Structure 1
Amino acid sequence: MKRNTKVLLAVLLSVFMLTVVACGSNDDTSSESGAGASTESNESNESNDAVRKVTIFEDAKRSEEENLKKMYEDFTNETGIEVEMVVIPGDGIEIFKKIDVQLVTGDQTDVIRLSNPLLIQKYMNNGWLAPLDDVMAEDGYDAESIFGEFLREGDDGKTYVLPYQAGKWAVYYNKKIFDEAGVPYPSGYWTWDEYIETAKQLTDKNNGIYGSYMLDYDAYLYMLARQYEVEGYKEDGTSNYDDPKFAEALQFFGDLGNVHEIQPSWLEFKSSKLSWDGFMSGNYGMHFIGSWYSSLFADQATYPRDWEVGITQIPVPADGNGDNNFGVDSGYGINKSAANPDEAYEFIKWMAENQYKYAGDLPARVDLTEDQIAELFQDYSDSVNGEITAEDMNNALFTSDLGFVDEKIVGPAATEYGNIILQEGELYLVGQTSLEDTVQTIKQRADKAIEDAETDS
């Protein structure tokens, strides 16, 4: 439900800062030592029973990030527990397909980082995660007072995940492209019509420049509907994808590339295999993405650039009825077959409480003081040499006077629902099916998936 600014202030004023994180894919899985991980051979480890370690799945690109290495080093220095990354080559949400297979076959990797609510729901419902309630009670750990509403429960009422971020969306922009085009930087309240017009002024395809960049995540295909707070399910539990706002949202997203030509079309994105971090190439004027993306600008070792970045708030529909931002929470869970469950518990507690200090996103903590918040804003600004100020971040993500809704469609068969939207939506985006047929098919397939999920349960 929509939360007005005052409510959001009360809930999220203790939930902020900046300094992030990404995702990953492929079929081969290897293991390598992360920062703070043991560099000794297996034989040496076996001869030293005092060595404590924890293993975690990571994608290849993320495993090389300096912020991640520093975070793991600090965890090891504070706890004495070494971190070993089980690296899956590639990047993006596709890595979880490989993780799924490994968990089914009894893999003992300790920790899984779940980057959105659909993954959290899926891994809880599939029984792949260890419940945390008993160990937290024994430890005297009051997770609710730390994480508040961001502490999710499974259908059985148990806690399986500790959240580390509660991100929101924003527009990041390349100041160099704006300057060369003679276009003023965006600031404050603005509409999607203004976003499109701005992107058109920035686009110079002869020189490989697009004014806008968006990705192939399911949320982009229905983001406009979420701004209007249109639910993914009807009151009777069936799919609500026949609501006209979902068709409007899909057409809107498709038109950005196919009609307005301000960003790569879906076909170009897929055929050119464009990346989730493609904005860092410097070829795009604006990128509409979650606030987790902030850390990339602070990591100039991984992402060297000759341009400065800015940030502004999310555009909204011109009719003023969809004045909402949206976001997503992420968390850490422990594999039910973990080889090192005690170390894994210490790890996920520490990461949930501390990761925001190394990332560029809003923490999922509701217990931070105003002084801590102010310090974190400034720390992030310092990390990007003042390109983005603390005031910029505050205005874009916190005091924008917009409401807030969940980014994802979360409910029965939610993962299948999202996949169906992507599969059928792609056919529309590349011109193979009509908008009407696409929406109808999504509705029918989603209803079947929901029915199957309820039958299985």
Structure 2
Amino acid sequence: MKKKLLVCALGTLLIGGMLFANGKPEQQEKITPPEQVVTTIPLSSYATEAWYKAMNDAFTAQTGIKVEVQVTPGTNDEQVAKVNLDLLAGSKVDVIPTLGPRDLNTRLDAGFFAPLKKATTASGVDVRSIWGKYIMYDPNGEFYSIPTKQEIYCLYYNKTMFDKAGIPYPKAPWTWDDFEKTAQMLTNAQQNEYGALMRLETPHIIIKALQEQVPLYKADGTSNFDDPAFTKSLQWFKELGSSKKYQMDVKQLLAEKASWNYWATVDNMAMFIQGNWFTRLLNSPSDYPRDWKYGVVAIPTTGKPESANNFVSMAYASINKNAAHPKEALEYILWLGQNQWRFEKGIPALENMSEEDLANVFKSTADASNGSITVDDLNKALIDNALNVINVDIVGPAAAEYNQIIKEEAERYCIDQQTLQVTVQRIKQRMDEVLKNV
């Protein structure tokens, strides 16, 4: 005990000697608290847009947490693949935004995300009352993502092209036959004007089969792409451009490099189907200048009760299980879930929104359209349209591979490298082979 007391006394004398060596106490250095930071890696198409920067600036102003955005070059699909590889390699980026349940399920299956139930409870946030049915729970009641928005599909149309042709604007409810007749009247291939644009993407390629909810998997777990509904939908997609010529042939679209934003950059295609997020492009004249007004209407159906369906895709924010700043990441994703839609001018994934709130959501979009559309137009096209809402993404085993295989084989069919029958067979065979290894 005496030895311990002696050591303490010597320590005190040494410290006192250092403090008063010059007859004055030394000034202690000011300790600056470390800067609060959260890192995120959004889709390439988001990272450079003005609304995205404004959103992160608002979060920083409100919380004091700086948002560092990591930009991944390439298309959105390439970005998703690169981010997944980085996560597999142990990336410490904090927040991972994901668009669509297909990519979300892939990341959940890979175990990339941190569980949120315990953390949100500790933070005092009542997740169920804020996001309710939009939260994706696993069988154990755990969840790994906060929904940031929902994207509901509609049909956009070029009012200037309709006015020039003297054709009434489309009105819902309407059928795919109505759509074709309208597209035919608006098509003038000699003047490079087309009635429609259906992109070489899975939802467009098999849109009729998806709308009728034909399953992509059989009960035994194999591919169901040999169902006649997929054959008919694929054939219809090709014929729009090849024989009917209501839209550019796929060969031309590939030559034009018609990416996800193509319709907003041209003035010669009258109708286009996409999620409501597309209004953000159309309402951004500095990024997408145009001299024509646009309209919105609910998408067509086959006219049968089983096809009275519209499509929706959700967006989510999750915390990387290896996040360097998990506390800041939690604050960021909870904030995004309640505020991202305000900046993106989208539809929030929030529970129990009042009609007034919903009207305000649409009002910001209508106001930004420079007179193209009204709140009533948006409400009728997206909400009050007598259509059920179903998921637009392929969800299930090897969903990303399924999506890519359909796109690759459909392209070969559309540019006449293989027949329709061979295309359907190859999609099923390739997918069944993938499913064996899942």
When normalised by structure 2's length, the TM-score is 0.87
Displacement of 1:149 after TM fit? Answer: 2.2
Q: CA RMSD in A?
A: 2.0
| Number of the residue aligned with 1:226 | 210
Displacement of 1:314 after TM fit? Answer: 0.1
| Number of the residue aligned with 2:431 | 446
Judge conservation of contact 1:214–1:289 (CA < 8 Å) in 2. no
CA distance in 1, matches of 2:355, 2:392: 26
| Number of the residue aligned with 1:283 | 268
Displacement of 1:431 after TM fit? Answer: 1.7
| Number of the residue aligned with 1:240 | 224
CA distance in 1, matches of 2:311, 2:299: 9
CA distance in 1, matches of 2:141, 2:216: 23
Task: Please state whether the residue corresponding to 1:212 is helix, strand or coil.
Answer: coil
Query: Which 5+ residue runs of structure 2 have no aligned equivalent?
Result: 1-30
CA distance in 1, matches of 2:204, 2:96: 25
| Number of the residue aligned with 1:252 | 236
CA distance in 1, matches of 2:282, 2:76: 18
> For 1:395, which of 349, 373, 380 is the aligned residue?
380
The amino acid across from 2:362 in the alignment is F
Q: 1:57 to 1:164 in 2, by over 3 A?
A: same
Task: Please state whether the residue corresponding to 1:58 is helix, strand or coil.
Answer: coil
Task: Please state whether the residue corresponding to 1:200 is helix, strand or coil.
Answer: helix
Q: 1:208 to 1:73 in 2, by over 3 A?
A: farther
CA distance in 1, matches of 2:247, 2:415: 14
Displacement of 1:373 after TM fit? Answer: 1.5
Displacement of 1:320 after TM fit? Answer: 5.5
Alignment of 1:268 onto 2:263: no
Spell out the pairing of 1:52-71 with structure 2 (5 A cutoff). Answer: 52-71=36-55
CA distance in 2, matches of 1:167, 1:305: 24
Query: Which 5+ residue runs of structure 1 have no aligned equivalent?
Result: 1-46
Judge conservation of contact 1:67–1:299 (CA < 8 Å) in 2. no
Displacement of 1:394 after TM fit? Answer: 0.6
Judge conservation of contact 2:153–2:275 (CA < 8 Å) in 1. yes
Judge conservation of contact 1:181–1:202 (CA < 8 Å) in 2. yes
Alignment of 1:129 onto 2:129: no
CA distance in 2, matches of 1:344, 1:436: 49
Alignment of 1:150 onto 2:153: no
Displacement of 1:330 after TM fit? Answer: 1.5
Judge conservation of contact 1:213–1:263 (CA < 8 Å) in 2. yes
Spell out the pairing of 1:14-413 with structure 2 (5 A cutoff). Answer: 49-154=33-138, 157-281=141-265, 282-319=267-304, 321-413=306-398
- The number of residues matched between the two structures is 407
Displacement of 1:233 after TM fit? Answer: 1.8
Displacement of 1:108 after TM fit? Answer: 1.9
Displacement of 1:423 after TM fit? Answer: 2.1
Spell out the pairing of 1:394-433 with structure 2 (5 A cutoff). Answer: 394-433=379-418
Displacement of 1:332 after TM fit? Answer: 1.0
CA distance in 2, matches of 1:236, 1:60: 38
The amino acid across from 1:51 in the alignment is E
| Deviation string, structure 1 residues 275-329 (Cα, Å, up to 9, x no partner) | 2111112232111111121211222222222111110110111555422112211
Identity %: 36
Flag the structure with more relative contact order, 1 or 2, with Cα contacts below 8 A and sequence separation at least 6.
1
Displacement of 1:249 after TM fit? Answer: 1.2
CA distance in 1, matches of 2:53, 2:342: 13
CA distance in 1, matches of 2:250, 2:335: 39
Task: Please state whether the residue corresponding to 2:71 is helix, strand or coil.
Answer: strand
CA distance in 2, matches of 1:357, 1:255: 40
Displacement of 1:155 after TM fit? Answer: 6.4
The amino acid across from 1:363 in the alignment is P
Task: Please state whether the residue corresponding to 2:42 is helix, strand or coil.
Answer: strand
Displacement of 1:207 after TM fit? Answer: 3.6
Displacement of 1:156 after TM fit? Answer: 6.0
Judge conservation of contact 1:71–1:358 (CA < 8 Å) in 2. yes
CA distance in 2, matches of 1:327, 1:259: 30
CA distance in 1, matches of 2:351, 2:205: 31
Range that drifts further, 56-65 or 68-77: 56-65
| Deviation string, structure 1 residues 56-82 (Cα, Å, up to 9, x no partner) | 113454223222222112111111111
| Deviation string, structure 1 residues 202-230 (Cα, Å, up to 9, x no partner) | 22334433221232322222211111111
The amino acid across from 1:378 in the alignment is K
Displacement of 1:408 after TM fit? Answer: 1.9
Judge conservation of contact 2:39–2:70 (CA < 8 Å) in 1. yes
When normalised by structure 1's length, the TM-score is 0.84
CA distance in 1, matches of 2:212, 2:371: 34
